[in-house]
Structure formats: C-alpha cells, structure tokens
Structure 1
Amino acid sequence: MGSNKILVIDDSRVIRARLKEMLPPGNFELLEAKDGVEGLKLISQESLSLIMLDFLLPKLSGWEVFQQIQQNHHWQKIPLVLMSGRKEEVLEKIQEPFEYFEFISKPFEQKELVAAIKSAMQKAKLPRKKVVVSNPTVIQEPTVIQGSLDNANLSEIELLNQKITKMQTEINQLKKQMAQLISWLHHRAS
C-alpha cells in the first residue's frame, strides 16, 4: 500500500470512483467515506496527506466536518480540498478568499483537480493566526475593563459586558449540544 493516504469524503460512489481515476499515479492509498461521520472517524484514525471533502453530506454535513477540522490543531495541517456543485452554499458559510484550503466546483476536470490539490498543499503550510478564546471567568468581571477606562461611559461598558456574558453562555451551551450530538452520532455509527 502507499505511504500517503488520501481521504475522499463524498456520498456519491460515482464521484469517489471518478476522483480515483483522476488522481495522478503515485505512492498513495485512497480511503473513502460516504458520509461526514465516517469521514471524521477516518480523519481521527489515519495519518492523512490530503482530504477531499464534499460540502453536502448525509449524517454530518461537509460544513460540520470542516468546522471539526478547523478546531483541531493537528487536522488543520492536513491539506484540504472542499468540493461542491453549489459554490453559493459554501460562500454562505465561509467567506472568500479561502485562506487555508482550496475549493473546487463540481464537475471538474483532472487539470483543475491537480491544481486544487497543489494549491491546498501550499495553503496548508501557511501559519495560522492565533485565535485567542477568552476565559469566561475573565469576561464576567466587568470591573477589569472599567478600571482601565477612566473617561469611558461606564453604563455602555456594563451593557457590553452583559452582552459578552450572555454570548459566552450561549457559546458554552452550543458546545455542550455539539458534544452531545457527536457522542450520539458516534454511538449510532458503532
């Protein structure tokens, strides 16, 4: 078997077979997943050289798989080519320019595929901007901000702090729901 593993996550057997035909000959093994849950399972189990991800998938959408990849420091380093026949649906979720991955519109030709893969490999090497996630306990202490802004309107700051606290609570609830959903999906897939 090949030393490089390419994962194709697409619910269409025809697309998976076509990709297999289009990939240039080389020392690689092609892994296939027919839905997002299966795809995430392979991403977590295998050492991959490339991920080809359809945006519209059953069980767990390509958007949800994409978000999981972006939240995992190790998975972010894997070159990613996002595929869709409807680019407008991708653009609703992710704004251009696509900085860390490549996008290819379906249907595509071999030349376009090879160019997208090369571009994805270059983009995966780019250093990521550090995203600082605030600690909710710090956010909930408005006096930290108030003490450093003597002339600012304290009622506006208080209002903003309340909004931040509310948003953080909602984010925490969404994270909990996402964890429950993933747990449920893993349980169903087993």
Structure 2
Amino acid sequence: MPGRKILIVEDEPDIRKLVHYNLTQERFKVLEAEDGEKALKIVRQEKPDLVILDLMLPSLSGLEVCRILRERPETARLPVLMLTAKAGEADRVVGLEMGADDYLTKPFSPRELTARVKAILRRSELPSPTEGIELYEKGPLKINFSTYETFVSGKAVRLTLKEFELLRFLVQNPNRVLSRDQLLDRVWGSEVFVDPRTVDVHIRRLRKAIEKNDRKPEWVLTVRGVGYKFDDRALDK
C-alpha cells in the first residue's frame, strides 16, 4: 500500500497541509488541488489511486467533481472519500448518492482519516472472492466478476466499485436476508466505522442502475427491520 497516489482536493491550505503531512508519514504519494477544475486535470494526468474530496469547493463543487468522475468510464470506480463541514444527514446522503465511497465530517481526526483511506484502498485493491464463479447469468442479468462488467438485457450498466461489490454479494447469496451490518462488513470492511445509512444509499443507487422501476424493485428487495435480499426467482419472470 505505501507508494499509492492520493489526491487531496481541498481549498483550505491548513487542512491540505495537515492531510498531506499525515499521509506522507504513511508513505503515500500525495498530490494536491485547491479547486475542482484542477483536480479533474490532475486525475487525468496522474491517475491517483484515491481522491480525498472536499464538498465545498470554489467554482466546481465537490459533488459536481464526484459526479463527473463517476460518469467517465476511466474513473467510474476511482475511490472517493468526501470531506464535509456539514454534519447534516442530507449532505452525507447526497455525497454518497453521487458515488462517494465514504465521508468524513470536519473537524476530523488525522488518525481516522488515515485509517479510512487504508480501508478504502484495501477494498478497492483486493476484489472480494467470487467463490469460484467468474460469470453470473440468469434472465436479463449478466455479471462478469473478472472484468467487473454488468449487463441488463444486453445493455452495459455502469456501477461504482461499491455498487458492484454489493451486487456481487447479493447474487452470491440468493433469497437470503442480509443485514446492513453483514453488508457493511463484506463490502466496506470492519476496520473502520461506516454509518449503516451508507448501505441504504448504495442500495438505492444499485436499484436505479439495474431495476426496471427502482421505486418498485423486483430483484433487490427490502426486508423491513432486517436488511436486504436478492430474489433471483424474479429474474425468470
């Protein structure tokens, strides 16, 4: 993990300096940008392994930067850790819905920031085991676990890494109710705290990507008070 490139996108010099120092202490290569436009340019040129992205940026907001990264095929799965000075749930949810992998509210502990960076990189660098299955194909759904490609009715569906890992775990456990804690441990790892609300946001994004009607899902179902399950029988309808 040492030597991985981390891009810090933050308009406050003191925070950039603090994050830069702590990450270099862990032997990461650190890049910096003070605004969204410069960040996108650095991403194209340097191809970082993870982006630490402030929500409130001049000209181009962190949310807009995240949206652009997710829309581009070459950065669709680039891990993003969002920083926000806003503690409100709505701001966190919007960030996650835009495709951020995790968020951290200011003021934050440098130790926690470093731990989250390492956890995200571990999840992105080491794909979950596929239990011997490289290709899943049933009804209109086709998933290639080796190439991280998903197709619905023959059309390619773009998923973030976390969305793909959620789908992978769900289809590998068909018709089994999985709690939010189980999904968090499997997809995000148990090394750091992640709000269970994160699972709900990513499930909602996953449904929008693969379901015919995400408001009336047929495949990824909610089991109230417990969690979620993947109904593979609905694929035959």
Q: TM-score range by the shorter chain?
A: 0.5 to 0.7
- Kept after mapping to 2: 8 A contact 1:101/1:123: no
1:25-50, Cα deviation, whole Å (9 max, x unpaired): 24432111111111111111112122
Q: Spell out structure 1 runs of 4+ moving beyond 3 A.
A: 122-134
> Hey, what's the Cα distance between the residues in 1 that align with 2:62 and 2:47?
20
DSSP-derived class of the 1:14 partner: helix
Question: The residue matched to 2:76 in structure 1 has which SS?
Answer: helix
Partners of 1:102 and 1:117 within 8 A in 2: no
Deviates more, 1:66-75 or 1:6-15: 66-75
CA distance 1:122–1:129, change in 2 (3 Å): farther
1:74 alignment partner, SS class: helix
Question: 1:80 offset after TM fit, Å?
Answer: 1.5
What TM-score, normalized by structure 1, do the two folds share? 0.58
Q: CA RMSD in A?
A: 3.0
Q: Give the CA deviation at 1:3.
A: 4.5
TM-score (norm 2): 0.48
* Matched residue, 1:53: 53
**3-state SS of paired residue (1:21):** helix
Per the alignment, residue 166 of structure 2 pairs with none
Q: Is the 8 A contact 2:24 2:30 kept in 1?
A: no
Partner of 2:31: 31
Residue 23 of structure 1 deviates from its aligned partner by: 1.9
| Contact preservation (8 Å) 1:102, 1:119 | no
Distance 1:128 1:54, change over 3 A: farther
Matched with 1:42 is 42
Tell me the distance in 2 between the aligned counterparts of 1:3 and 1:69. 22
State the shift of 1:123 in Å: 4.7
The gaps in structure 1 that reach 5 residues or longer are: 135-190
Superposed counterparts of 1:41-120, under 5 Å:
41-88=41-88, 90-91=91-92, 93-94=94-95, 101-120=101-120
Query: How much has 1:6 moved relative to structure 2?
Result: 1.3
SS of the counterpart of 1:40?
Answer: helix
Contact 1:99 1:123 in 2 (8 A): no
| Residues 103-143 of structure 1 deviation map (CA, whole Å, 9 limit, x = unaligned) | 11111112211221123224545758668589xxxxxxxxx
**Counterpart residue number, 1:8:** 8
**TM-aligned CA deviation for residue 90 of structure 1:** 2.4
Q: Secondary structure at the match of 1:23?
A: helix
CA gap of 1:103–1:123, structure 2 versus 1, over 3 A, is farther
* Bigger share in helix: 1
Q: Determine which structure has the larger strand proportion and give its number.
A: 2
How many residues are paired up? 132
Question: In terms of Rg, which structure is larger?
Answer: 1
Match of 2:205 in 1: none
The amino acid of 1:15's aligned partner reads I
